[in-house]
Structure 1
Amino acid sequence: MPHSPLPEKKAEKLFQKMCMGQQALDKSLLPILVLTKPDDNKIKSQAWVDSFKFIRLGNWACVFDFDDCSYEQGIIGRIFPKVRALVISEDKFKFVENVVQLRDDLQCPEKVIWDYSNERKELEKVHKGRKEWNYEYSSSIKGAVQFFQQRCLIPKKRAIVILFLLSNDFAGVVETLYEHVGHFSWKHIVIIADDTEIYENFSHIIESERSYDRTELASSSIVGLSWKEVSSVFEEAMGIEDDSDCKIPTSSGATINCQSKISRATKGYKNTQCHCMRK
């Protein structure tokens, strides 16, 4: 069995995927974030939630949030400033007659469009399993992805779709990935999972349902970094200094600060100012 890449190699891969092979985040890239519903035991941990504070730095065009409890107990409720977000449901994109008018109504790109993609608990709408989701929401999610791939929102080749796998709840997430791959290609997809088992379960579904080459999925995936390490890569890509105590091991077994190690792996990109994402 081949050895798993060292953490610094994974960090370098994530940096390069985020920056589309360039030396810095291109300010013209418009990122889309897809969040799976986390397990209850994770979301109850404030330390775990705090590890996602870097999401606040993103100048996201849209967030597809599959956590029905997110508004009160999840990422947007506890991490992301609600004043920056326009919270909607995917029904908004079912029948779009005038793309420009809807874009203006949604205040794009001034507002981050926060799309509840599998119900909202505070509205007494129950989170659905995959079969139910496909029956009720598949057409809506197609409409949402088609909306954001319009050139008046995200010009050609300017999208980057980042998917966080936070649990084994993939209801709607798999279909959303299919839509994004169809519109933007694997080159513009980044899949991040800290848990190898979760990623393997996800990749098994993808490979069994679609004729995607495993290498395409693998080339777009970064698996095994902790969310603190992912946070350090995001901050590194945006040129933000980080004095956190996040450590990763070297090949000798010693540990080193994530920021320092990633700086070496990415050949000193730390000083490059990136404007794709805002504070």
Structure 2
Amino acid sequence: MTTRRALLGSLGGFCLAPGAVAQPASRSVRVAAIDWAAAESLLALGIEPVAVANTGLYRQWSTEPALPPTVADLGMPEEPNLERLLELRPDLILVSGWQVALRQTLARIAPVQIFSVFESNRTPLSNALAKMRALAREFGVEEVGAAFESRLEHGFEQSRKRLQATRRPAVLLAVLLTDGMRITIYGKGSLLGDVLDRLGLENAWTGAMPVFGRITIGIERLLELPDFWLLYMDQGHRTQVALQRLRANSIWRALPAVAAARVRPIAAVWPFAGAPTALRFAGIVTDRMSGGGAGHG
């Protein structure tokens, strides 16, 4: 078994400057994506990555575009399998901003680029689209990238038209926690919050948000908010446990949204993803708020 120390030592022949950037000329270039937003963006551009971190979990969260079965699994994104990556001999490795600590090590295998969705200079969706355009230019598939953006804009436009048919209260996007006392919500600064903005929907949470645009709060704070719909991401068994405990909570039962059956499950998406997930999430929200399914509060 090759040890991590021995493997790092063997990478000397592949050493490149940490800031080196590849200039791929065609979609035949072999790209490894440690970051999932980068992986789905490549797929949307018609470029199949040779490897992605934790492919099993990726397929659970990101169903479209589908990840081909031939894509190699690099293990956990926090500590990708360097031996497997070396065997695959990629020409380029894409990582997220939060994975920047890996850059120096990975750059000894292949040039590394940062695919960061969460930067302070723009909204997450704008960042994701800008990074996707850059990839399209590097791979010479600008027309594919432009076609995707047209589909994105058309999808948002169609969703807005459907939602404008009926006046709706603000929306709270949430993940229910299993303690039955807290929820995690997504607001300004999150990719999911950006989607609400593009759909013309008001986010019920207007308070301060930390990095990544999500915050965990006690459900008692929901009593302070004006009328809203609560859309929670269904994470299977964890969500069922949370709902069971919430239904026994008098504060939860006192929420107007719960009493009016405006609490609805939606398909879970990876909240730190890119533009393809934003497009899919827009459809999920629109379907649910246009009458797709009954409340489950």
Q: Normalising by structure 1, report the TM-score.
A: 0.35
Which protein, 1 or 2, shows the higher relative CO under an 8 Å CA cutoff with sep ≥ 6?
1
Q: Normalising by structure 2, report the TM-score.
A: 0.33
